[in-house]
């Protein structure tokens, strides 16, 4: 009887170890997916653009005050948004227009990041000024 109990206990422990291994690997895969997740248009607009707490506002203020370390993280995220906006489907409008406008947006956000990295407020402001919200909203919102 003891022999069967030991075998059963090892089987249970083996099953638990297998579940932990599978669960652990899916958690790692989940983290990777989270990092590579394409942000939605709404997420990009809300976090990047809307209000005084948006990345654009924070970057502008930090650049004006020459707080480059503060601006850098926001500029990195804004550039990430720029790289990914075009991967979304627009609510309306032509695909060709969407591709053109999101490419311009990506270039502008890269310019902002470059300006922050170079500690050049003129380049930051030029990049921010090149972001044309109205043009894109008119065609695609």
- Separation in Å, CA 127 to CA 24, 26, 28, 47: 42, 40, 36, 18
Which residues, 6+ apart, have CB-to-CB distance to 38 below 8 Å? 84, 87, 88
Residue 40 to residue 36: CA distance in whole angstroms: 12
Report if pTM > 0.75: no
47 SS3 class: helix
What are the sequence ranges of the domains in the chain?
Answer: 1-37, 39-140
Model confidence over 58-113: pLDDT tens digits?
Answer: 999 999 999 999 999 999 999 999 999 999 999 999 999 999 999 999 999 999 99
Query: Tokens in use for 13?
Result: 């422990």
């Amino acid at each position: 009887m003891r022999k069967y109990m030991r075998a059963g206990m090892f089987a249970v422990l083996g099953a638990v170890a297998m579940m932990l291994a599978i669960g652990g690997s899916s958690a790692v895969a989940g983290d990777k997916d989270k990092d590579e997740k394409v942000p939605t248009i709404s997420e990009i607009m809300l976090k990047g653009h809307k209000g005084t707490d948006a990345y654009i506002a924070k970057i502008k203020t930090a650049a004006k005050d020459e707080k480059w370390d503060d601006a850098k993280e926001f500029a990195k995220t804004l550039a990430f948004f720029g790289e990914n906006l075009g991967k979304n489907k627009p609510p309306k409008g032509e695909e060709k227009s969407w591709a053109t406008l999101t490419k311009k947006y990506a270039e502008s956000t890269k310019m902002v990041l470059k300006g922050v990295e170079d500690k050049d407020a003129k380049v930051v402001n030029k990049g921010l000024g090149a972001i044309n919200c109205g043009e894109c909203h008119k065609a695609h919102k």
